[in-house]
A and B are shown apart, each in its own frame.
Chain A
Amino acid sequence: MNYIFYFLIVLSIIFGVINGRLQEVVNGILSGAELSVKVAFSLIGIMAFWLGMMKIAEKSGVVAFISKIIKPAARKLFNEIPENSPAIGDVTMAFTANAFGLSNAATPIGIKAMEELQRHNVDKKSASDAMCMFLAMSTAGFQLIPATVIAVLVSIGYPNPSEIIAPTLVVTSVAFLSAIFIAKIFQKFWQPQKAENKTDNKIKAEVC
Chain B
Amino acid sequence: MLQQVINLISLWAIPLLLLVILTVGLIKKVPLYEAFTDGAKDGFKVAVNIIPYLVAIIVCISMLRASGFIESTGQILSPILKCFHIPVDTVSVMIVRSLSGSAALGVFSDIAKNFGADDYATKLAAVMVGSSETTFYVLAVYFGAVGISKFRYALITGLLADFIGIAAAVAVCNFMFL
Contacts and interface: CB of A to CB of B under 8 A. Distances in A.
Interface string B50-83: 1100111111111111111101100000000000
B165 A171 contact: yes
A203 interface: no
Given A32-B63, A39-B54, A182-B157, A175 B164 contact: yes
B131 A16 contact: no
Given A12-B60, A54-B39, A4 B155 contact: yes
A111 B161 contact: no
A171 B36 CA distance: 38
Contact of B157 (A62, A135, A193): A135
Contacts of B17: 102, 105
Nearest to B130: A146
Report the contact-size class of chain B (Cβ under 8 Å from the partner): 35 or more
A179 B161 contact: yes
A70 interface: no
Contact of B44 (A44, A114, A143, A156): A44
A5 B71 CA distance: 21
Contacts of B88: none
A135 B35 contact: no
A125 B150 contact: yes
A140 B154 CA distance: 11
A98 B101 CA distance: 14
A179 to B, nearest CB: 4
Interface string A108-145: 10110011011000011111000110111011110101
Nearest to B21: A57
A57 B26 CA distance: 11
Nearest to B159: A139
A77 interface: no
Interface residues of A, number: 109
Contacts of A100: 9-10, 13
B59 A28 contact: yes
B95 interface: no
Given A56-B32, A152-B109, A174 B141 contact: no
Contacts of B157: 132, 135-136, 139, 179, 182-183, 186
B161 A175 contact: yes
Query: In this complex, which of B44, B62, B172 has the most chain A Cβ atoms within 10 angstroms of its Cβ?
Result: B62
Contact of B152 (A132, A140, A162): A132
Contact of B20 (A35, A61, A62): A62
Given A19-B67, A111-B141, A171 B152 contact: no
A158 B61 CA distance: 31
Interface string B13-54: 110011011101101101010011111111110111011001
B87 interface: no
Nearest to B57: A36
Given A8-B63, A171-B127, A19 B22 contact: no
Interface of A: 1, 4-5, 8-9, 11-16, 18-19, 21, 24-25, 27-29, 31-33, 35-37, 39-41, 43-45, 47-49, 51-62, 98, 100-102, 105, 107-108, 110-111, 114-115, 117-118, 123-127, 131-132, 134-136, 138-141, 143, 145-150, 152-153, 155-159, 161-162, 164-172, 174-176, 178-179, 182-183, 186-187, 190, 193
Counting from the closest, the 10 A-B pairs by CB-CB distance are: A141-B133, A48-B43, A55-B39, A146-B130, A32-B62, A175-B165, A52-B40, A126-B150, A179-B161, A28-B66
